[in-house]
Amino acid sequence: MPLDLTATSIELTRQICDIESVSGNEKELADEIEQALKRMPHLEVLRDGDLVVARTRLGRARRVVIAGHIDTVPVNHNLPTRLTTEDGVEYLWGRGTVDMKPGVAVALKLAAELAEPSVDVTWLFYDHEEVTSDLNGLARLARTRPELLAGDFAILGEPSNGAVEGGCNGTMRFDVVTRGRRAHSARGWMGENAIHKAAPVLQLLSDFVPETIEVDGLAYREQLNAVLVSGGVAGNVIPDECRIHVNYRFAPSRSTDEAEAAMRALFEPLGEFELKDLSPGARPGLDDPLAREFLDAVGLEAKPKYGWTDVARFSALGIPAVNFGPGDPSLAHADDERVETRQITACEDALRAWLQ
Amino acid sequence: MPLDLTATSIELTRQICDIESVSGNEKELADEIEQALKRMPHLEVLRDGDLVVARTRLGRARRVVIAGHIDTVPVNHNLPTRLTTEDGVEYLWGRGTVDMKPGVAVALKLAAELAEPSVDVTWLFYDHEEVTSDLNGLARLARTRPELLAGDFAILGEPSNGAVEGGCNGTMRFDVVTRGRRAHSARGWMGENAIHKAAPVLQLLSDFVPETIEVDGLAYREQLNAVLVSGGVAGNVIPDECRIHVNYRFAPSRSTDEAEAAMRALFEPLGEFELKDLSPGARPGLDDPLAREFLDAVGLEAKPKYGWTDVARFSALGIPAVNFGPGDPSLAHADDERVETRQITACEDALRAWLQ
- Write out residues 198-227 of B within 8 Å (CB-CB) of A: 198-200, 202-203, 205-206, 221, 223-227
Last residue of a domain, one of A231, A261, A279: A279
The pLDDT of residue A194 is: 97
Q: Is the pLDDT of residue A326 over 90?
A: yes
Domain enclosing residue A90, as ranges: 9-168+282-355
Last residue of a domain, one of B279, B312, B347: B279
Q: Is the pLDDT of residue A312 over 90?
A: no
Q: Is residue B1 part of a domain?
A: no
Q: Which residues pair with B90 in a beta bridge?
A: B85
Mutation target among A202, A224, A310 for the B interface, most CBs of B within 10 A: A202
Q: A69 and A205: one domain?
A: no
Q: Is the minimum CB–CB distance between A189 and chain B shorter than 8 Å?
A: yes
Mutation target among B99, B158, B181, B196 for the A interface, most CBs of A within 10 A: B196
A121-156 residue pLDDT tens: 999 999 999 998 889 999 999 999 999 999 999 999
The pLDDT of residue A5 is: 96
Q: A114 and A242: one domain?
A: no
Q: A207 and A72: one domain?
A: no
Q: How many CA atoms lie within 13 A of A287 on its CB side?
A: 4
* Whether B226 and A195 lie within 8 Å, measured CB to CB: yes
A71 is catalytic: yes
Q: A236 and A310: one domain?
A: no
Q: A303 and A156: one domain?
A: yes
Question: Are the C-beta atoms of A310 and A99 separated by less than 8 Å?
Answer: no
Length of chain B: 356
How many domains does one find in chain A?
A: 2
Q: What angle do CA B277, B194, A97 make, to 5 degrees?
A: 120
**Domain at B224, CATH number:** 3.30.70.360
Q: What is the ipTM of this complex?
A: 0.75
Handedness of CA A261, A266, A268, A269 (dihedral sign): positive
Q: Is residue A1 part of a domain?
A: no
* Whether A225 and B185 lie within 8 Å, measured CB to CB: yes
Residue of A nearest to B205 (CA): A196
Q: Is the pLDDT of residue A274 over 80?
A: yes
Q: Is residue A211 part of a domain?
A: yes
Using CA atoms, how far apart are residues A136 and A129, in angstroms rounded to an integer?
A: 5
Question: Which residues of A are less than 8 Å from B206 in CB distance?
Answer: 193, 196-197, 199
The pLDDT of residue A324 is: 94
The pLDDT of residue A216 is: 77
Q: Which residues pair with A277 in a beta bridge?
A: A173
Question: Which residues of B are less than 8 Å from A199 in CB distance?
Answer: 199, 202-203, 205-206
Q: A52 and A105: one domain?
A: yes
Q: Is residue B4 part of a domain?
A: no
Q: A68 and A206: one domain?
A: no
Q: Give the Cβ contact number of residue B231 at 10 Å.
A: 26
**A223, A232, A244 ranked by CB distance to B185: nearest:** A223
Q: Is residue A40 part of a domain?
A: yes
Q: By C-alpha distance, which of B112, B227, B122 is closest to B175?
A: B227
- What average pLDDT does the segment A66-90 reach? 95
Q: B264 and B218: one domain?
A: yes
Question: Are the C-beta atoms of A247 and B236 separated by less than 8 Å?
Answer: yes
Q: Is the pLDDT of residue A302 over 80?
A: yes
**Domain at B90, CATH number:** 3.40.630.10
Give the distance between the most distant pair of CA atoms in chain B.
80
Please state the pTM of the whole predicted model: 0.72
Q: A268 and A292: one domain?
A: no
Using CA atoms, how far residue A19 sits from A27, A94, A272, B78, B290, in Å, is: 10, 11, 41, 52, 74
Q: How many CA atoms lie within 13 A of B89 on its CB side?
A: 9
**Which of A32-36, A109-113, A194-198, A213-217 has the least mean pLDDT?**
A213-217
The pLDDT of residue A237 is: 86
**Which of A137-141, A163-167, A266-270, B83-87 has the least mean pLDDT?**
A163-167
The pLDDT of residue A304 is: 85
Using CA atoms, how far apart are residues A89 and A237, in angstroms rounded to an integer?
A: 55
The pLDDT of residue A267 is: 98
Q: Is residue A132 part of a domain?
A: yes
* Whether B227 and A234 lie within 8 Å, measured CB to CB: yes
Last residue of a domain, one of B248, B279, B310: B279
Pairing of strands A153-156, A321-324: parallel
- Write out residues 36-75 of A within 8 Å (CB-CB) of B: 73-74
> Helix, strand, or coil here: A230?
strand
Question: Which residues of B are less than 8 Å from A226 in CB distance?
Answer: 193, 195-196, 231-232, 239
Q: Is the pLDDT of residue A217 over 90?
A: no
Q: Is residue B203 part of a domain?
A: yes
The pLDDT of residue B210 is: 94
Catalytic residue among B34, B50, B71, B337: B71
**Amino acid identity for residue A196 in this structure:** H
Q: B204 and B144: one domain?
A: no
Q: A133 and A205: one domain?
A: no
Q: Is residue B217 part of a domain?
A: yes
Q: Mean pLDDT, chain B, as a whole number?
A: 94
Point out the residues of chain B with pLDDT beneath 50.
none
Angle of the B9-17 helix axis to the B101-113 helix axis, nearest 10: 130
Residue A168: which pLDDT band, with cuts at 50, 70 and 90?
A: confident
B260 is catalytic: no
* Whether A235 and B189 lie within 8 Å, measured CB to CB: no
Using CA atoms, how far apart are residues B111 and B122, in angstroms rounded to an integer?
A: 9
Q: B164 and B25: one domain?
A: yes
Residue of A nearest to B232 (CA): A228
The pLDDT of residue B209 is: 95
**Could you check whether the bond before residue A263 is cis, i.e. omega within 30 degrees of 0?**
no
**Could you check whether the bond before residue A146 is cis, i.e. omega within 30 degrees of 0?**
no
**Which of A40-44, A240-244, B319-323 has the least mean pLDDT?**
B319-323
